[in-house]
Chain A
Amino acid sequence: MQVQSEDFIARAADALSDTAASANRRRLGLQLPAQREAAVATFGAFQSLRDHVESVRRHTLQHLDTYLDEFEQQALENGNQVHFARNGEELNQRVLSIIQRHSAKRVAKGKSMVTEETGLNAALEAAGLRVTETDLGEYIVQQAGEQPSHIVAPALHKPEADIRSLFYEKHPLGARDLDTAEDMVAEARRVLREEFLAADIGIIGANALVAESGYSMLVTNEGNGDLCANLPPVLVICTTVDRLLPRLSDAMSMLRLLVRSTTGQPITSYTSFYSGPARDGDIDGPRETHIVLLDNGRSDILASDYRSMLQCIRCGACLNHCPVYVAAGGHAYGSVYPGPMGSVLTPLLTSLEESHTLPNACTSCGRCEEVCPANIPLPQLLRDLRHAENEAQLLPTPVRLGLKAHAWLVQRPQLYRWLSGLFARSLSRLGRTHWLARRVPGMTDYLNTRDLPMPAKETFLAQLQREAENE
């Protein structure tokens, strides 16, 4: 998995100044949380649904070997070929060799974060294959030569006008107009329809694997994943070893939780369970199906204190509710997985050295934990990673020394109170002239996009004491 998380701050600053792209994000940051909240209210017993699914996920991870084994047996019985891949490169190799065995040329892909993680498209294209992403957002991002910026809405960063220009540039449109979003969707539908019909291989991901029956669950609104799973003669499902759920009923519970948390819908337009290749007498469906199960660090996470991160069902709610994600956008994170879940997952899947800036991209507001359907304690995991970052001495020396000094000071309450009182009084005096709100030496960049509030006259503790005395 490639990461470029080192320059999070520079990328975030760029993103903040790109007003067109940030308009979409602001809309997302308002619209999706509102939709989710309405869905949660209509559902009623949402917290008990969350707790139930969490307990099932925990149980599954606790006995993952048993459930993985059961799934593998069932999947084999259903007629699938099951493969394992330790890392991204192995997955890419596996998939490539399946494709080459069929002398296939054209691949239609459904949305799959796992293959984003492994860089499968690049590997297949390097081998001369034509790979087409068929989720509309992924297709747009692929045509633009960019990376997805959201795990559920990949083209969130692209303003409508950019998509229009992109289609004019890439498609032979002739005199056709693309005035509205409907026109653009129709154009993509026309182009992608041909890809579906001509594809030799379909590749999709899985939202869950059902151990008791070997089914894999696929959840989409577009139906593109289902076209990939049903039209091409060979189907390859790429997913990870931790996606398991014991029973179909567990998948249904997770579905209730996932869709409401993602878009606020009770269910997506298409929810499918696939067991294997076409049966005798079927007039459609793939003749051959493969399931590739990727580890790529999951077994390490399972063995670590960060196991709860594997409960993630990739709903994207933590992104939609994160003030840092909404302001900075997915590309700032320099990783396939952005937002709070990405800030935990990326250092675990790569290394803390490569991505230690990410756990710091957090205001500790706690909204992600409030909405995470899988009950993952994201702020705590981020704090733990920051702690590990400090232990590993990855912070710049001035920050480390500053933190040390701070730790020393807060352990001396008298001195702390006296110094903070002095600081508050001086700030308040400086603030009176109002220049402080905009011109703080060394913070010009920061204050370009925001005003500071007027400083209070005294510290919180002093206020509290005064009020207690007055009572």
Chain B
Amino acid sequence: MNDARTEIYARIRGTATGASRQDIDSALHGLGSGPSAPLPSIEPCAAFLANVLLQGGSISTARSRKATVQAVAKYLFERHRTHKIAAGHDQRLAALPWRDAGLLPRFGAAGSNDAVSVSFAAAAVVETGSVILLTGKASPAANHLLVEDHIVLVDCEALLSTLDDATEWVGNLRHRPRGIQLISGPSSTADIGMTLVSGAHGPKRWHIILTGEIPAEAEEEARELAGLT
């Protein structure tokens, strides 16, 4: 095994320029950065929600903590006629007034019997309509990979404009998470007859609730931008 390592390194070194690390770094720096995608609106909330819709998600908005749990309850009742939901050990989730909406989340990792889970996004990216989840107690992977419906709460303060801002945000984290997951739609496949089907392995539906001080017309503008009105 070490032979393999030594041999491979030797072969690759044979092709290298032998430049110093400093020169390599400055050459890389000199390459600058690549362009990002244009945003559908200059207003970040509407732009983010529009991209979520374009990625096959559904959206709602909530301007208070109470409205947030009510939005979750509404979704749960409409889709599943249930008040059961799984949630990670996330302090922000634990602090929500669930009882006000008649909900009783089960905190911990979702099992195969959980149909719906709710997560709180660590951040979200306007450019791609993605939510960022970091693995760990607050957001166990099972909660967003095993359920049928995945609801993600996104604080509008946590919106990052581009993937480059997301990179910077990751760079500023105090620890290096095991997994950084950008989720940007329901689990989908086109492997059978090139027909797009949702719910390949994970969520069939992906619902974003944007919370906080959101412009009144953001949701409507998003639907317009996504061509849904």
* Interfacial residues, chain A to chain B (CB-CB below 8 A): 24, 27-28, 31, 42-45, 48-49, 52-53, 55-56, 59, 62-66, 68-69, 78, 83-86, 90, 94, 134-137, 140, 153-156, 159-160, 163, 181-182, 184-186, 188-189, 192-193, 196-197, 213, 215, 221-224, 226-227, 229-231, 241, 246-249, 252-253, 255-256, 263, 265-279, 281-285, 293, 295, 299-300, 302-303
Contact = CB atoms under 8 A, between A and B. Distances in A.
A270 B15 contact: no
B95 interface: no
Contacts of B56: 269
Contacts of A295: 4, 8, 11
Interface in B121-177: 127-130, 135-137, 140-142, 145-146, 163-164, 166-167, 170-171, 176-177
Query: Which of A68, A186, A229, A271 has the most CB atoms of chain B within a 10 A radius of its CB?
Result: A271
Contact of B191 (A137, A266, A303): A137
B184 A160 contact: no
Contacts of A274: 178-179
A78 B178 CA distance: 8
A68 B179 contact: no
B226 interface: no
B201 A134 contact: yes
A44 B38 contact: yes
B182 interface: yes
A283 B200 contact: no
Contacts of A273: 179-181
Nearest to A91: B4
A281 B89 CA distance: 12
B200 A221 contact: yes
Interface residues of B, number: 78
B176 A223 contact: no
Interface string B24-41: 100110011111111000
Contacts of B21: 66
Contacts of B186: 269
Nearest to A32: B194
Given A224-B200, A284-B140, A63 B179 contact: no
A350 B12 CA distance: 19
Given A64-B16, A185-B197, A284-B135, A270 B34 contact: no
Given A63-B24, A222-B188, A241 B180 contact: no
Contact of A59 (B4, B8, B31, B37): B31
A275 B192 contact: no
B30 to A, nearest CB: 9
25 contacts: A43-B38, A45-B35, A48-B35, A49-B35, A59-B31, A86-B7, A153-B190, A163-B192, A189-B200, A222-B200, A223-B187, A226-B181, A246-B28, A252-B164, A256-B37, A266-B129, A268-B184, A269-B56, A269-B184, A270-B187, A272-B181, A272-B182, A275-B178, A282-B135, A284-B142
A31 B188 contact: no
Nearest to B11: A299
Interface of B: 1, 4-5, 7-9, 11-17, 19, 21, 24, 27-28, 31-38, 51, 54-56, 89, 108-109, 112, 127-130, 135-137, 140-142, 145-146, 163-164, 166-167, 170-171, 176-195, 197, 199-202, 206
A283 B137 contact: yes
B26 to A, nearest CB: 11
A64 B9 CA distance: 9
B213 to A, nearest CB: 27
Give 8 closest A-B pairs by Cβ, nearest first: A230-B141, A52-B34, A299-B11, A137-B191, A269-B185, A253-B34, A222-B200, A223-B202
A185 B5 contact: no
Contacts of A300: 11
A227 B202 contact: yes
Given A215-B180, A224-B201, A269-B186, A63 B14 contact: no
A252 to B, nearest CB: 4
Nearest to B200: A222
A43 B176 contact: no
B179 A283 contact: no
Nearest to A226: B145
B28 A59 contact: yes
Nearest to A66: B24
Contact of B188 (A188, A269, A271): A269
Contact of B141 (A62, A69, A226, A302): A226
A293 B1 CA distance: 11
Contact of A282 (B19, B137, B187, B194): B137
A256 B163 contact: yes
Given A59-B27, A86-B4, A221-B187, 5 more contacts: A42-B37, A68-B9, A153-B190, A181-B197, A221-B190
Nearest to B31: A55
Contacts of B4: 83-86, 90, 295
A150 to B, nearest CB: 10
